[in-house]
Structure 1
Amino acid sequence: MGDDFRPANKSGLFARHGNTIIISVLAAVTLVVGVLSVRQTHPELLSGLFGTGPGPAVAAVPVPLTPTVDLAHPFAGTAVEGWADGEAGIVAPTAAPLAGFTRAQVADALDRARRALISARIDPRVLHGTDVGLLVDQFAAPKRAEVLASPHLRTAIAEGSTLLEGVPVKATGTMSVHAGRRGELIIDMNHSFAYAFTPRDRAVPAGPMQIISVVRAQSQYGFYGLADWPGVGRGLIPLDHSRFFYSMSCSAAVRGYLAPADAERVNPGGATPEEDRKRIFDPSLPMPDPKGTC
């Protein structure tokens, strides 16, 4: 399974009409509005156009921008508001004996997979890249270099972006386990994670999704604990993964990193088909269409 990144919406152009009179009137109105806008925000620019400028007592009055997002509760009113906080959103199934593994061994495999996923998608030290070893060390030695080298096996926050302090990652989804080849357990994890970022300009966010990014992640780990496995030994390894970014910076996403939509001042997720939007927020549904990319 591969990675997929949905671009934010790109505004379209209005269709042109052939009525010359209408175009002329609209042009005149646009000019007047434009002049008024320039006069209010940059009056010095009018002096060269009309030969006059503002008097010494006239000055542009900045219009204050009012934040529309409660940065202490950024998820309020969004589709992820009801998701669990942090690792509480990653729940392992009840363990039972399976394919030669005892109940305790299956429970150990599930716990290892759960802790690895928490590190990969929730632990801020791994997300920000300050201590990726916390994730790497949970895998069997022959696979650690692969995990260390790939930002695709974890959520990697782009340089210059930071998560809101004190605001937990939101998570929802499921885990399951089944027998693979002899001595092998396969653990499947299908989750969605929501991250709230510190705004680039704390007065600017027009809505919560400008600073919230969602990652739909489907991961599969293998666990080997009955005997040494060729090339692995014993332990946990990543087998397969797929992910889908939503409401994010495309320039970061194409490099495998996550940054919010406000990093590029774009309309977050506006071009995403409704069916894919449902799949992003509901990990019980199939993964979104893999065709869309940044």
Structure 2
Amino acid sequence: MSQGGTSIPDEEWERFLREAEAGSAGAPQEPSARARMVTRRLREQPGPPEGWRTYRPARRRRGKGWYVLGLAAAVALLVVALVPGLLVGWFGGGDGADAPRAAGETQRPDGPPAQEAAGRLPTPDRPFSGSPAAGWADGTAGIHLPAARATGWMSRSEVEQALDRTRDFLAASSLDRAVLRGERPSGAMALIDPHQSDVHEFIEKAFRAPDRENDPLLLFSRFRPSDVRPAGDVVRTRGRISFREGERDAVEVSTDVTYVYPVVRAEAGSEEVVRTVVRREVVLSWNDPAKDRVEPGTFSLVSYKVDATNGGCDNTYTGYFTPVFGAERAATGAGDGAVVDPYDRSTPIGERMREAGDAGGGTATRS
């Protein structure tokens, strides 16, 4: 076996495979629904703009993007108290190797992942079988972090801290087990600048009385425990974080991550596994405290967009993802819009929404 011109002895390669399969400490680890896109400044429209979703088998729930004024958020070393195990997700640990693990995503792919062989249905023991997520990493390990460099008002080490805190926010909003079972995302909310009153008011209303305009699922992943329970031990993820210099010397951080949540019905003995696939693009800004009013260690939320498959009905806003199963899913029929692949990360969410146009929803090719 050779890579980059360097030969690896057969015995070393065999040892590597044995250790990787066994999950030994020495084995290397991978780094880590279709409608009009809303992008309005809160200066022009107070509060979050209108939300929208679509639904079909496996139902795709469309999100929205909305922009807020960039208030200050300094990287003042606020450490979110997230236990490492929680960063893996709602579920806690690995479920074994379904497939060879894909390398981390360092840039936007050119196209969708390959289709899997037909007939590979998910089971509680292998809940990702038959999907690209079988080869994805667990939890935050699937979210690629770039190398830090001095940018804007931040030094290299401060940018590195900002990237870490950004990944903490993604974990606290979309992987934390308490949040996934419906509890308030206190860890994630603590990282959002408290001076962004419109954002915090939106979040409070979304949890108190979710509706079309105020839906917590636009930022947070939640399931009702009385409806479903996790299948297996992990959430699989794939995505990346990038950064650049923003306005007023701020460091603007962009995230694009797909989360795959396998679930079964809450009833004891349930065996049918379905997956809810959620992709979020979230942009945030770590602003210069010398130029803006800031709360140390918090960021300013700039925008977000959400695209979800098998997450719920387009006219029912419960504040939870509500995946459908079996006959119920078959009875919904196909959507009238374009055929879409929830695992295709080659196109930005906004562009995919524009391609769908007024057709709105569509039919997901897999789940």
* TM-score with structure 2 setting the length: 0.55
Question: 1:78-115: CA deviations, max 9, x gaps?
Answer: 23211111111122211001123100111111111110
Q: How far apart are the structure 2 equivalents of 1:252 and 1:73?
A: 32
Distance 1:167 1:175, change over 3 A: same
How far residue 178 of structure 1 moved from its aligned partner, in angstroms, is 0.9
Which one has the bigger helix percentage?
Answer: 1
Q: How far apart are the structure 1 equivalents of 2:254 and 2:133?
A: 22
Q: How far apart are the structure 2 equivalents of 1:142 and 1:284?
A: 35
Partner of 2:265: 199
Q: How far apart are the structure 2 equivalents of 1:108 and 1:269?
A: 47
How far residue 241 of structure 1 moved from its aligned partner, in angstroms, is 0.6
Distance 1:285 1:168, change over 3 A: same
Partner of 1:239: 302
Please tell me whether the aligned partners of residues 285 and 299 of structure 2 are also in contact (alpha carbons under 8 angstroms).
yes
How far residue 226 of structure 1 moved from its aligned partner, in angstroms, is 4.1
Q: Which amino acid aligns with 1:175?
A: I
Partner of 1:119: 172
Please tell me whether the aligned partners of residues 158 and 252 of structure 1 are also in contact (alpha carbons under 8 angstroms).
no
How far residue 217 of structure 1 moved from its aligned partner, in angstroms, is 0.9
- Structure 1, gaps ≥5 residues long: 11-67
Partner of 2:147: 94
Partner of 1:8: 56
Question: 1:19-77: CA deviations, max 9, x gaps?
Answer: xxxxxxxxxxxxxxxxxxxxxxxxxxxxxxxxxxxxxxxxxxxxxxxxx6421221112
Matched, 1:81 2:99: no
Q: Which amino acid aligns with 1:118?
A: A
Partner of 2:245: 179
Q: Which amino acid aligns with 2:345?
A: P
Q: How far apart are the structure 1 equivalents of 2:333 and 2:256?
A: 21
How far residue 123 of structure 1 moved from its aligned partner, in angstroms, is 0.8
Q: How far apart are the structure 2 equivalents of 1:204 and 1:106?
A: 45
Partner of 1:140: 193
Partner of 1:155: 221
Q: Which amino acid aligns with 2:55?
A: P
- Structure 2, gaps ≥5 residues long: 1-36, 39-50, 59-120, 207-215, 363-367
Matched, 1:223 2:276: no
Q: Which amino acid aligns with 1:215?
A: V
Structure (1 or 2) with the larger CA radius of gyration: 1
Distance 1:186 1:258, change over 3 A: same
Distance 1:130 1:255, change over 3 A: closer
Partner of 2:73: none
Matched, 1:285 2:347: yes
* Alpha-carbon RMSD: 3.0
Q: How far apart are the structure 2 equivalents of 1:256 and 1:76?
A: 28
Q: How far apart are the structure 1 equivalents of 2:316 and 2:285?
A: 27
Please tell me whether the aligned partners of residues 142 and 239 of structure 2 are also in contact (alpha carbons under 8 angstroms).
yes
Compare 128-137 and 113-122 and name the one that shifted more: 128-137
Partner of 1:271: 335
Question: 1:255-290: CA deviations, max 9, x gaps?
Answer: 44312122982138943866532xx21334221326
Partner of 1:110: 163
How far residue 224 of structure 1 moved from its aligned partner, in angstroms, is 2.1
Match of 1:70 among 91, 116, 123: 123
Please tell me whether the aligned partners of residues 252 and 258 of structure 1 are also in contact (alpha carbons under 8 angstroms).
no
Partner of 2:235: 169
Helix, strand or coil for the counterpart of 1:135? helix
Q: How far apart are the structure 2 equivalents of 1:293 and 1:276?
A: 9
* TM-score with structure 1 setting the length: 0.67
Helix, strand or coil for the counterpart of 1:5? coil
How far residue 233 of structure 1 moved from its aligned partner, in angstroms, is 3.7
Question: 1:195-230: CA deviations, max 9, x gaps?
Answer: 01122554573xx4xx21101111111112442624
